[in-house]
Amino acid sequence: MSVKGLVTYRSAAASRVTLLDSLATYPSILRKKIKKHKLYAGDYVQGEIVGEQFVIEKIAPRKNLLVRPPVANVDSVLVVMAMKSPNFDSYLLDNFLAVYEYIGITPVIIFNKVDLADPQEVNRWKKLYESIGYEVVTLSALQEENLQKIKHYIQGNITIVAGPSGAGKSTLLSKLLGIELKIGEVSEKLGRGRHTTTAVTLYPADKNSFIADTPGFSKVEATYFMDKREVHRYFREFLRYRCKYSDCTHTNEPGCAVQEAVMRGEISCSRFKNYLKIMQFFWEKLDTVCKESRE
């Protein structure tokens, strides 16, 4: 009998499939005739249970595929940033946001370690990103403060927890799921000569909800994923303005409505500075427009 499942574990050497109704999990193999097909965590599959194994016969078309870590059919991304220790880095966050916008997944921003941070500063950043249109949750994973606010973004979804190293992703996931994830040691690395593959596990959260931890990046560059001339499309608030040229990159073009909006204080200096840094463009007006008093 053919049954449906979800690939909840994938490494270079092995995979596991979880049945969605019972959550029973089986080691899985690909049936001979699709042996050459690629298989990822997050793949919805159809197959047969033979003995103790799930034999995959069919892999459903993917709606998306994230590369680092490799997970298919991602519905939701939580970008976790520490507000302190390490210090909040808006450039890193803006790069993360642009990348997920580019992939087509609206990220939810999680500001973690609020127990260590200045509440006013946390609030300032929260307001800024909310004004752009992002959902922002502030919490302390360690002190289990506000964790329930995240449930809403996980329900019924395949979610990945992303963000820089040390942000508290593994801590958050451990507390949320009530499991013991080894902090800083969640994704096992399999050395394969010069190729290193990361194993991915999707943990069951709520009903029909699965969530994956990811190894932290210390650096994410939007331009690694997309062409420089495209980056402006993934800074949401820029899309509210119509420049003289429809393909304006908001750098050296005349009649740039985005630069005018920065000058009027409608677009945050922090965001525009980070954008210009990605574009590696020097705007001579930046220092006068963005005085210290403006974020």
Give contact residues for Zn ion (rule: CB under 5 A).
243, 248, 250, 256, 258
Residue 171 within binding range of Mg ion, rule CB under 5 A: no
User: Are residues 152 and 205 in contact, defined by beta-carbon separation less than 8 angstroms?
Assistant: no
Q: Which is nearer to ligand GTP, 190 or 257 (CB)?
A: 190
Does residue 171 interact with ligand GTP by CB under 6 A? Answer: yes
Taking the complex as a whole, the smallest distance from the CB of residue 174 to Mg ion amounts, in Å, to: 9
Ranges within 62-121 binding ligand GTP (CB under 6 A): 112-113, 115-116
Residues between 215 and 254 that touch Mg ion (CB under 5 A): none
Cα separation of 20 and 25, whole Å?
9
Q: Which does 256 bind (CB under 5 to 8 A by kind): ligand GTP, Mg ion, Zn ion, none?
A: Zn ion
> Site for ligand GTP (CB under 6 A): which residue of 72, 167, 212, 262?
167
CA 168 to centroid of chain Cα atoms: 14
User: Residue 147 corresponds to which tokens in the numbers above?
Assistant: 């964790």
- Our CB check for Zn ion shows the closer of 85 and 252 to be 252
Least distance (Å) between residue 192 CB and ligand GTP: 21
> Which one, 31 or 68, has the nearer CB to ligand GTP?
68
> Min. distance of Cβ 248 from Zn ion in angstroms?
3
**Mapping DSSP to helix (H, G, I), strand (E, B) and coil, where does residue 286 land?**
helix
> Taking CB under 6 A as the rule, does residue 183 contact ligand GTP?
yes
Residue 170 binds Mg ion, judged by CB under 5 A: yes
The Cα–Cα gap between 6 and 23 comes to: 10
List the interface residues with ligand GTP, window 184-223 (CB under 6 A): 184, 215-216
Nearer to ligand GTP, 122 or 267 (CB): 122
> Total residues at the site for Mg ion (CB under 5 A)?
2
**Closest to ligand GTP by CB, 113 or 271:** 113
Other beta carbons within 10 angstroms of residue 22's beta carbon come to 9
Q: What angle do CA 141, 169, 105 make, to 5 degrees?
A: 115
Nearest CB to ligand GTP, comparing residues 218 and 252: 218
Q: CA–CA separation, 270 vs 248, rounded Å?
A: 20
Four-CA torsion 148, 154, 155, 156, nearest 10 degrees: -170
Could you say whether residue 21 binds ligand GTP (CB under 6 A)?
no
Taking the C-alpha atoms of residue 75 and residue 103, their distance in angstroms, rounded to an integer, is: 11
Do 150 and 176 contact (CB within 8 A), yes or no?
yes
Cβ-based nearer residue to Mg ion, 111 or 234: 111
CA distance 265 to 166: 33
Residue 293 CB: number of other CB atoms within 10 A? 6
Tell me which residue has its CB nearest to ligand GTP. Answer: 216
d(CA 98, CA 91): 11
CB 41 to ligand GTP: min, Å: 17
Within its chain, how far is the Cα of 24 from the centroid? 27
Binding site for ligand GTP (CB under 6 A): 112-113, 115-116, 140-142, 163, 165-171, 183-184, 215-216
